[in-house]
Amino acid sequence: MKLFKGLFNFYLNSSIHVALAICSLVAITVIEYNLNLEYAVLGFIFFGSITGYNFVKYAAVAGLHHRTLAASLKTIQVFSFIAFGLMLMCMSQLSIKTLLVAVVFGMVTFLYAVPLLKRKNLRTFGGIKILVVALVWAGVTVFVPMIADNMRLETDCWITFFQRILIVIVLLLPFEIRDLQFDSIVLKTFPQQLGVKNTKFVGVVLLGIILLLYGFKDEISWFFFTPLCIACLCMAVALLFAKEKQSPYFSSFWVEGIPIIWFVILLGFRHFFL
């Protein structure tokens, strides 16, 4: 049991779980738009997500959340270095166009963690932390696979992009509620500005907008809309139960795993109804 718990904590702390969540969103885009995605692109996103997230989390090891990680930090650093090498291998197989788009979002991730302007990084600019993360997730999971398959970015693509931004924002709200007691007031997070109750209300409104936006697409299908509804229901439940004092795995495993659940449901629909 101790070994299993150690492996499970490594799975979460090394960002494998979040990388799988991001790749699940990529796969959802691939299925919805019938894209042909090379394994190198998916590998680049997976290993790039591990590298980027671990860089953001552990570039400066400080804060209450990371004190318990000191013993395993060296292992995570080695793992991150291996992931970085694999990311470079996959990157060498990307087209120039795909690479340029990926580099843009990679630079945003870099600026999110590294202070440049007056010793500030993007994370410390009040009110934009959650928007930066949502923009990067949406761009990587929507635009990168589309551009890799030379798809024209038409209206439906942009709607999916804006939906994905809102989805990531909602997924991040339970994290912001959890971190309310730790975050600096300068971050101006939703719970800091609105309170926990109003933050949950905003999240529910955003979920309604996500579903409403789907109706504006040129191609509407219950095959994709139903799994989206189930995913939104899961996010609503996560918001309902989110609180400052959470179990260690509530946000980092269950909430972050909702995209994986969404992808599995979509695969199930594809298997039984197509």
- Give the tens place of pLDDT for each residue, 120-143: 655 666 667 788 889 999 999 999
Decide: 159 and 210 in contact? Cβ < 8 Å: no
Lowest-confidence range among 11-25, 118-132, 143-157?
Answer: 118-132
% of the chain surpassing 90 pLDDT: 64
One DSSP character per residue, the chain reads -HHHHHHHHHHHHTTHHHHHHHHHHHHHHHHHTT----HHHHHHHHHHHHHHHHHHHHSS--SGGGGGGGGGHHHHHHHHHHHHHHHHHHHTTS-HHHHHHHHHHHHHHHHHHS--BTTB-GGGSTTTHHHHHHHHHHIIIIIHHHHHTT----HHHHHHHHHHHHHHHHHHHHHHHHGGGTS-GGG--HHHHH-HHHHHHHHHHHHHHHHHHHTTSSS--HHHHHHHHHHHHHHHHHHHH--SS--TTIIIIIITTHHHHHHHHHHHHHHHH-
Instruction: Tell whether the torsion through CA atoms of 49, 162, 169 and 226 is positive or negative.
Output: negative
Confidence of residue 64 (pLDDT cuts 50, 70, 90): very low
Q: What pTM did the predictor assign? A: 0.91
pLDDT in tens, 77-113: 889 999 999 999 999 999 999 999 988 888 887 776 6
pLDDT of 63 > 50? The answer is: no
Q: How many residues does the chain have?
A: 274
Provide the total of helices (H) and of strands (E) in the chain, helices listed first.
12, 0
pLDDT band at 270 (very low <50, low <70, confident <90, very high): confident
pLDDT at 41: 95
Per-residue pLDDT averaged across 135-162, rounded?
A: 95
Q: Could you tell me if 170 and 162 are in contact, meaning their C-beta atoms sit under 8 angstroms apart? A: no
For residues 206-233, average pLDDT:
94
| Higher per-residue confidence, 1 vs 39 | 39
Q: Is the pLDDT of residue 118 over 70?
A: no
Cα 68 versus chain centre, distance: 23
Distance of alpha carbon 94 from the chain centroid: 22
Does position 226 have pLDDT exceeding 50, yes or no?
Answer: yes
239 confidence band (pLDDT: 50, 70, 90): very high
Is the model's pLDDT at 242 over the cut of 70? yes
Does position 23 have pLDDT exceeding 90, yes or no? yes
Point out the least confidently predicted range of 27-31, 47-51, 74-78, 122-126.
Answer: 122-126
Spell out a b/e string for 26-62, using b for 16 or more CB atoms within 10 Å of the CB, else e: bbbbbbbbebebbebbbbbbbbbbbbbbbbbbbeeee
Distance, CA of 199 to CA of 34 (rounded, Å): 36
Range of weakest confidence among 54-63, 189-198, 237-246: 54-63
Burial state string for 96-110 with b = 16 or more CB within 10 A and e = fewer than 16 = eebbebbeebbebbb
Supply 5's token pair: 């718990």
Q: What is the pLDDT of residue 248?
A: 85
Average pLDDT over residues 184-197: 85
Q: What is the pLDDT of residue 196?
A: 92
Confidence at residue 156, expressed as pLDDT on a 0 to 100 scale: 95
Backbone φ and ψ for 117, nearest 5 degrees, come out as: -85, 110
